[in-house]
Structure 1
Amino acid sequence: MLITTACAVISAAGLGIAFLVARRRRFATALRVAAVSLLPVGLAMTGVVRFVLNMTFNPLAWAGFGVLALAVLMFLGARFADRRGHGTARPPAASAGEPAQALPATRERPGGAPAGAGGADDFSDIEAILKKHGI
């Protein structure tokens, strides 16, 4: 009974605020405030508030939340490991019958210089683009 009364008071205050907003000719905002202010009464009438309060003080429910959090962390950890390449022993393109081929140590840039060639080569691509546009 106390929960329903508290939710009704909260909703009444929200509807009062919505009325004041509507007097300023902001009808869309007033409608949004009224809709949000009706949520506590609706949740109290459906019994969701009692369910949440009973679940809040239940240790088994908190253990369930812990298990769910652990599952989410494991899932995210697996995605992170898969992106970093720690999830598989060989590249996905290699089939079971083929031996895994090693990747080349350095990659070639479009200009023909290797990727780790030095600091001066790093800006050669940018300089070529700037020269192309006349800058």
Structure 2
Amino acid sequence: MGRSAVKEVSSSNHTVNFTSSDTPSKIEITFTLQNLKFTPNSSDDSKPAEKHEAVSEKRIVLNAGDNVDIKTKITPADSTSLVTFVSSDESVAMVKDNAVSADNNGVCTAKFTALREGSAKITAVTDNGLTVELT
């Protein structure tokens, strides 16, 4: 106890950089933010998604190295919601585009790559919480 795994901390342009000691077994970082003011999006033309559904098959089988576009659809098609795609295991399936907006038809597309044998759940969630899961 009392030994720090962090040798140096520096910051610039809202980025914090850490230089760690050799082979730390565990690093725990706590940030305390003060004097912050959060403001809502100034856009008055916000139009959240009301419905979110899978366009791609809900079960996808790939071989290592395969790439696939995974698609979901939000309604209304002109929604301003973003859809974030996340893999439950990035060592099996890696997302290339994680937060995407819909095309003119309401379709949101993310590219995934199968990295190795295994299974991963892909979750697509709108910024207002509508969720679709694929495996």
Structure 1-normalised TM-score?
A: 0.17
Select the structure that is richer in helix.
1
Q: Which has the larger radius of gyration?
A: 1
Of the two structures, which has the highest relative contact order with CA contacts closer than 8 Å and spacing of 6 or more? 2
Structure 2-normalised TM-score?
A: 0.17
